[in-house]
Structures are given as structure tokens and as C-alpha cells.
Amino acid sequence: MAVANLSSVRLQRHFDVVPERLFDAWTNPETVRAWLFTTPTSEKNTTEVDAREGGEWTIVDRRDGVDYRALGEYVEIDRPRRLVLTFCMPQFSPESARIVVEIASDGSGSLLTLTHEPVPASDVSQTEQGWNDMFTQLKAVLGKSQEYGELTEPGTIRFERILPGPIERVWSYLSDSDKRATWLAPGELAPQAGSEVFLKFYHADLSRKSAPIPEQFKQFAHGAVTRHEVVRFEPPFVLGLTWGGGENAGLSEVRFELTPRGPDVQFVLTHRGLADRATLRNCGCGWHTHLAILAARLDEREPEAFWSTFNTLYGEYEKRFSLDS
């Protein structure tokens, strides 16, 4: 029996996200489902990911009524620099290939180097085109996920932004009451874990522009004061606060994490311990709106009215964090 001539595929692509975010696109099931071994016109996609060394992954993608099954194993996981996995599509060949993903910082973004081998020499062009198409989808997915909050585990929502630095300036918008009042809520913050802080929310004060408050949030028309405890205070990198967790629920926790990225700052907000989908939806929409106002303040421009942005986003978060899902 003749043995096919074997070759390899090596591609490099720049992505406008930090290495950690790009790496997680290969291991987070929700993100994987949106781009890896699928197409924008797929009828159905089922993704199972066990992202640990020795863990298996399976993607079943339906196109034109046909199920295409890709599977493999995570061989090496070194976040955010290197990922090695095997790859096989049994309906076409029982043979497995090896995919090596290497990620390095590249300015304010990341450079991804992918090596896929072995590949039959006759399939090199088709394989390159397949990865190029998937990378186009991945760029679109990462662009969206940088905007919308992402469910990373039950009860947890995560936001990521790249904001203009330096880091001390961004930190001051978290720690200084007057600056925090321009995008979130004022309240004197003692610089130590275990201290108490009262935040005074009045959404209409966050912009000179105005918009009507939605009927279901009329209780906030005259503002609200909430009590929090400082969980972590590590300037200028980490601030953690307790937060409400939802109706009839205990406390949740919000963590702000800042990392220098050249002249910019990677800003990650993670809200853990949210009790139900309605609270996830409301918090997701609320944080998204507050972060839009923060970005405007750091860009030295007047933000849109809080309720104007919130109203625009509410329907999208209703779909993303559906009470039926």
C-alpha cells in the first residue's frame, strides 16, 4: 500500500487581545463552540471540553444535515503561552494529527503561531484555508466577547477591557471616591481588606445627558445606597468587594484586576456568586453600561446617559442570559 506524502501547515496571525484571552478561546467551551471546527452557517454545534492535560475534547458540527465530528486530547496546557492538542475526524481518517498553538505578546495584542502536522501533501491548501476561515471567525468572536460579559462558570460573569493607561490613573478611578463617582458610585474606601464602604448609586448623575428610567427599575429613580466590604486591596493591581448576590441570596464578590499592557491597561472585572439568571442578566447589563462610561471618562469624552445605554443592551443580555437556558 502506498503511503501518502506528508507535510505540515504553519500559520501566524495577530489578534487584538491579550495572550490570556486568546489562549482561553481554545479552552472555554462557550468560546470554542463559536469558532473551532465550525462555520457561521452551521445548523447545530455540540461541544464538550475537558481542558486539562489528558482531558478530551469533542465537537459535533451539523452542516447541510450532516454531522461532522472532530475530537482529540489536550496534551500540553501552559496558559497563556503554549497549547498542544491532538486532532482527528474519524469519518474521514482514523489517523490523528497534532496541533501546536504558541502565543506571544505582540504590541497591545498577541501573535498566534499554529503548527498542524502531519497533513497529507494533497490537503495542505485545503487545511490552510480551513484555519484561515476559522481565524476570521475567532477574531469576530473575540471582538464580541471583549464587549459583552461572558459566563465563565455558573454564577460568574467576566468582562475585559483595554483602557488607556497608565495603570495608576485607571486605579484612581477605582479607589478615589470622586473619580469613581463619575462612572460607578461615590463612597470613601479605606485602603485595607476588611474595611466597610457604602456606595451611593445615582445613575442619572453619571452623564450630563438624560434618558428615561425603565419601568422595572423605577425603585432606583432616587438613587440607592449599598453596603460592601473590601475583600482585597492591592494597589494598583487588585480591588475586591463584596456585592449583593440576587434576591433572597447571600453576598457575591466583585474583583477588579489591572495589568499593564504597554501604554494601556488590561482591565478585568469578574463578578462571582450570582444566584440566578435574572441577576446575571441585570448585573451583566449594568456592568457593561458602567464600563462604557468608565471608558468614556478615560478618553475624556462625555458618556451617554446610563439608562440610554442600559436600555439598548438589555434585550441582548436577555437573550444571552435567558431565564430558560
Please name the fold of domain 150-320: Alpha-D-Glucose-1,6-Bisphosphate; Chain A, domain 4 (3.30.530)
Predicted pLDDT at 8: 93
Identify whether the C-beta of residue 24 lies closer than 8 Å to the C-beta of residue 31: yes
| 103 beta partners | 112
Identify whether the C-beta of residue 254 lies closer than 8 Å to the C-beta of residue 155: no
Predicted pLDDT at 248: 52
User: What are 212-221's contacts with CB under 8 Å, separation 24+?
Assistant: 212/307, 213/307, 214/307, 214/310, 214/311, 214/314, 217/307
Q: Could you tell me the pLDDT band of residue 1, with boundaries at 50, 70 and 90? A: very low
Predicted pLDDT at 313: 83
> Which CATH number applies to 6-145?
3.30.530.20
The predicted-structure confidence for 209-254, as pLDDT tens digits, reads as follows: 888 898 888 888 888 999 999 999 999 999 999 997 555 557 899 9
The reply to whether 6-145 and 150-320 are identical in fold is yes
% pLDDT > 70, the chain: 95
Q: Is the pLDDT of residue 2 over 70?
A: no
pLDDT, mean of residues 79-100: 94
Q: Is the pLDDT of residue 43 over 50?
A: yes
Indicate the domain borders of the chain. 6-145, 150-320
Mean pLDDT, the chain, integer: 89
The predicted-structure confidence for 130-174, as pLDDT tens digits, reads as follows: 999 999 999 888 876 557 888 888 899 999 888 888 999 999 999
pLDDT, mean of residues 300-315: 87
Predicted pLDDT at 325: 42
CA distance 102 to 188: 44
% pLDDT > 90, the chain: 59
The predicted-structure confidence for 249-290, as pLDDT tens digits, reads as follows: 578 999 999 999 878 898 999 999 998 888 899 999 999 999
Cell output for 109 = 495584542
Identify whether the C-beta of residue 64 lies closer than 8 Å to the C-beta of residue 44: no
Tell how far CA 203 is from the center of its chain.
Answer: 25
What pTM did the predictor assign? 0.59
Phi, psi (degrees; rounded to nearest 5) at 310: -60, -45
Query: CA nearest 101: which of 160, 33, 47, 27?
Result: 27
Q: Could you tell me the pLDDT band of residue 4, with boundaries at 50, 70 and 90? A: low
